[in-house]
Amino acid sequence: MSTGLVSPDSPGAVLQLVRSAHSSSRSEIARLTGISASTAALRVQALLDSGYLEEAGDGESQGGRRPRRIRLRTGGGVVAAADLGASHAALALFDLGGELLADRSASIRVQDGPESVLGWVHAQLQEMLDGLDGSAPLHGLTVGVPGPVDAQAGRVVTPARMPGWNGVDVRALLGRLTDVPVLVENDANLMAVGEHAAIPDPGGHLLFLKAGSGIGCGVVIDGHLHRGARGAAGDISHVSVGGTSEVPCSCGRIGCLDAVASGAALARDLAAAGLPVRDTADVLALAADAEPVSARMLRTAGRATGEVLASVVNFFNPDTLVLGGRLSQAEPYVSSLRAVLYERCLPLATDDLRVAVTTTGRLAGVIGGAHLMLEHLFDPTRVNSALGVGPQPLAVAH
Ligand SMILES: [Zn+2]
């Protein structure tokens, strides 16, 4: 990861400029960084020689010679992402510019355990790689899981809905199957990053609510994922929603948001009311048919979630709140959540707040996974180190 000590005239910093599309020629790089034209040309040449950049033809003349344009060599490799839910998975491949190349989704049973599920993920991704036009090497893999993750260690920590996964070192398990860098992240965190990368003008501060079978929340601050001290930031699932709820939660307490307002909780309560419901998808199907009990329960769940989010929004003052996960497809849920949010928040916190339903849908997590991996691969310190420039990174996060 970046140490913040990257010299602005180093190849890694120059690559960052080109990636961010702020410059596409040697002369622009020289102008933006203040380095000499000859140094800019040397840095670009090193990045061309090592395959990070490629020539992109001639640009518009600014009066003199037409500048030769350069760009990221997006076809030089592929990054993969897998977003695992309790009962479904999204898998995708992206080029090095973050363009989606292929994706698929499938039903899984996360309780089958890490060896089985991760083996399946690897085999699926291999099949997708084999199906691509042309061969580009895999450069990295990000896996999102529906539970708390110690991202530094790559371990899953006390996940409520992932029996058999507690303490599992996902990075090490995948490391037996592939030798590329592996990142492991909580699914709501990946979705927050994915939505922030995908929507136009999100502002620096974004909250992503994932309301599916379970409830989670991802936090982006100043454009970067905020994990907190141990990776628990944004976990609103065990906030007590007060009232008189005696519903026991998987964490051992009673009345947690997850126990009363998650898709799993709604499925449980609707089944107890005698309706033919097994899971969150069934809850949504009933609501789509305007079945009144499910609509009322979705409104109650939306209010409970909105009350928790109101505290978070007042405290955090985000630019954007994105509502994702399957429950965000249910109108009664979204409208009651919005209503309580505006009721309970200070005008200063909501005047310019954008509240939107996810636009990336089931791809939010894999887009976020690719984004994090590309940030990792193109980290200026890492690039400089690969080119033998400057201080070696303290720890290669692999
Ligand atoms: Zn709980």
The pLDDT tens digits for 163-174 are 889 899 999 999
Length of the chain: 398
| Ligand 1: centre distance to CA 253 (Å) | 5
| Ligand 1: centre distance to CA 47 (Å) | 50
pLDDT at 191 over 50: yes
| Ligand 1: centre distance to CA 238 (Å) | 4
User: Which residue is it, tokens 């954007």?
Assistant: 320
| Ligand 1: centre distance to CA 239 (Å) | 7
244 half-sphere exposure, CB direction, 13 A CA radius: 0
Whole-number pLDDT of residue 3: 46
Strands (E), the chain: 53-58, 68-72, 78-84, 88-95, 100-107, 138-145, 149-150, 155-156, 182-186, 206-211, 215-221, 224-225, 320-324, 354-357
| C-alpha span between 267 and 277 (Å, rounded) | 6
For 31-66, write each residue's pLDDT tens digit: 988 889 999 999 999 999 999 999 988 777 667 777
Q: What is the DSSP code (8-state) at residue 65?
A: S
What are residue 142's phi and psi, to 5 degrees? -115, 135
Confidence of residue 132 (pLDDT cuts 50, 70, 90): very high
Q: Which has the higher per-residue pLDDT, 389 or 92?
A: 92
For 70-85, write each residue's pLDDT tens digit: 999 999 899 999 999 8
Q: Are 393 and 2 in contact (CB under 8 A)?
A: no
| Ligand 1: centre distance to CA 240 (Å) | 8
| Ligand 1: centre distance to CA 11 (Å) | 48
Angle at 158 between CA 155 and CA 163, to 5 degrees: 100
Least confident of 61-65, 148-152, 206-210: 61-65
283 half-sphere exposure, CB direction, 13 A CA radius: 33
Whole-number pLDDT of residue 163: 83
| Ligand 1: centre distance to CA 356 (Å) | 27
Whole-number pLDDT of residue 73: 94
**Which tokens go with 192?**
């927050």
| Ligand 1: centre distance to CA 244 (Å) | 15
pLDDT at 299 over 50: yes
| C-alpha span between 155 and 173 (Å, rounded) | 10
Angle, in degrees to the nearest 10, between helices 292-316 and 263-272:
150
Whole-number pLDDT of residue 4: 54
For 270-286, write each residue's pLDDT tens digit: 999 999 999 999 999 99
User: Which residue is it, tokens 């996810």?
Assistant: 358
| Ligand 1: centre distance to CA 254 (Å) | 7
Coil vs helix vs strand at 212:
coil
Whole-number pLDDT of residue 315: 94
pLDDT at 391 over 60: no
| Ligand 1: centre distance to CA 262 (Å) | 11
| C-alpha span between 363 and 15 (Å, rounded) | 27
- Give the helix/strand (H/E) hosting 312: helix 292-316
| Ligand 1: centre distance to CA 260 (Å) | 10
For 211-227, write each residue's pLDDT tens digit: 998 999 999 999 999 99
Confidence of residue 388 (pLDDT cuts 50, 70, 90): confident
Whole-number pLDDT of residue 390: 62
Percent residues over pLDDT 90 in the chain? 71
Q: Are 263 and 179 in contact (CB under 8 A)?
A: no
| Ligand 1: centre distance to CA 319 (Å) | 28
| Ligand 1: centre distance to CA 308 (Å) | 14
| Ligand 1: centre distance to CA 131 (Å) | 43
| Ligand 1: centre distance to CA 255 (Å) | 7
| Ligand 1: centre distance to CA 215 (Å) | 11
Least confident of 10-14, 66-70, 120-124, 339-343: 66-70
What are residue 91's phi and psi, to 5 degrees? -125, 140
pLDDT at 251 over 90: no
| Ligand 1: centre distance to CA 294 (Å) | 23
| Ligand 1: centre distance to CA 395 (Å) | 35
| C-alpha span between 99 and 85 (Å, rounded) | 23
Least confident of 2-6, 20-24, 60-64, 184-188: 2-6
| Ligand 1: centre distance to CA 247 (Å) | 10
Percent residues over pLDDT 70 in the chain? 95
| Ligand 1: centre distance to CA 217 (Å) | 15
For 308-327, write each residue's pLDDT tens digit: 999 999 999 999 999 999 99
Q: Which has the higher per-residue pLDDT, 153 or 49?
A: 49
